[in-house]
Amino acid sequence: MSIPYGYLVGLAFLAFPALPVPRLRERPGTLVFLLAMTVNELPFLAIALFTASTGLALAEGDLASPVAIAAAVVGAACIALTTVRSTRTERALQAALGSIAVTKRVSYASILLRPFGFRPGSVERTANVPYGPAGKRNLMDVYRHRSHPTGSPVLIHFHGGYYAMGRKNTQSRPMLHRLASQGWLCISANYRLRPDAVFEDHIVDAKRVVAWVREHAAEWGADPDRIVLTGSSAGAHMSTVAAFTQDRPEYQPGFEDADTSVSAVVGLGGFYGPYFGRGADTDPFALARPDAPPVLVVHGDHDSLVHVSVARAFGKRLREVSDRNVYAELPGAHHGFDLFHSPRFEAVVNAVEAFTAHAWSAGAPVGPEEPFEQPRVAGPGVE
């Protein structure tokens, strides 16, 4: 009786995201990250692949061995666990937001039809708009509704990539498209990268984008009083530091008098520690201040690149300095949960809308009453 090794390898691929994530001292391989992230964030795809592969194995008689049968049962259980964790996202976000009511619900039908977050027809993208002097690294894409509304809230997104790679228009696209379709002005910006750039260059670029929005608000129909900074991974680090240093002219060379303040910050799967051997002046944990704009930190408890303990500690620190800050932990989410139009990320976008609306209304304190118990740990660097 032969063992269907090909089938077993496929099952391992589909079941892997359900496994616990160890605290890693080194960055895992790209393949490990991509396997976990893709299957984990698209559980319906995992179900379809499992059903097809199991049906094929059954038709070919490969499920006759006890090993194959046991593997199929375990694989089905792991995929079911991954799916259930994904459906818990709405409840976890609402618990974190406390008194802020998230009124929108995940639309599973739209996710099944558009899991990869293609841009809807109602949204236009103006590509490669320059905002600074650094060539292609100072270009951004602007998304807005084709009706060109006025008084639009603004979302500025910075991509991740260890501050050394990545580009605009690759991450958080479902959020950019969704908010733009609802009348927001959304921006996805490049910025200067290592090794040619240093920490100060990243923050200067972030502030240049904010200054550009304020300067061109009338032209693009933007509301300069409602600007949200957000970012994925390294972009979350960049966004929080930029928001926490709004009164630091050294980060605004040549535009020192420009107003680069923002009204809210959203960090998605970010690292919140010192920048590559630098000190506290590069650390969002140390820079957090009570007069900063409200911050929503969203992190997956299965993140294999930035351990969840780093985000928990930052969330605790934020709550210590201001009760308007919120830390939300997503059950089963890995790094890169913002790449697909998934049930999990749609729930996150719903929460972002509710959080920012509350921030602009100058509402009451939010968030859970219980403190976070997880101690702060050092991380490997910024993702």
Helix, strand, coil shares, percent, the chain, to 5: 45, 15, 40
Catalytic one among 335, 338, 341, 342? Answer: 335
**Dist CA 213 CA 135 (whole Å):** 18
Phi/psi at 193 (5° precision): -120, 155
**Dist CA 189 CA 127 (whole Å):** 10
Token representation of residue 188 = 């996805």
Token representation of residue 55 = 């049906």
Q: 98: phi > 0 → left, psi -120 to 50 → alpha, else beta; which?
A: left
Beta bridge partners of 328: 298
Please check whether residue 224 is in contact with residue 188, taking contact to mean a CB–CB distance below 8 angstroms: no
Beta bridge partners of 125: 143
**Dist CA 375 CA 77 (whole Å):** 32
Q: Apex CA 124: angle with CA 120 and CA 126, to 5°?
A: 140
Establish whether 335 is a catalytic residue. Answer: yes
Establish whether 99 is a catalytic residue. Answer: no
Catalytic one among 181, 233, 239, 263? Answer: 233
**Dist CA 127 CA 212 (whole Å):** 15
Establish whether 53 is a catalytic residue. Answer: no
**Dist CA 178 CA 152 (whole Å):** 14
Catalytic one among 201, 303, 304, 341? Answer: 303
Residues labelled as active-site residues: 233, 303, 335
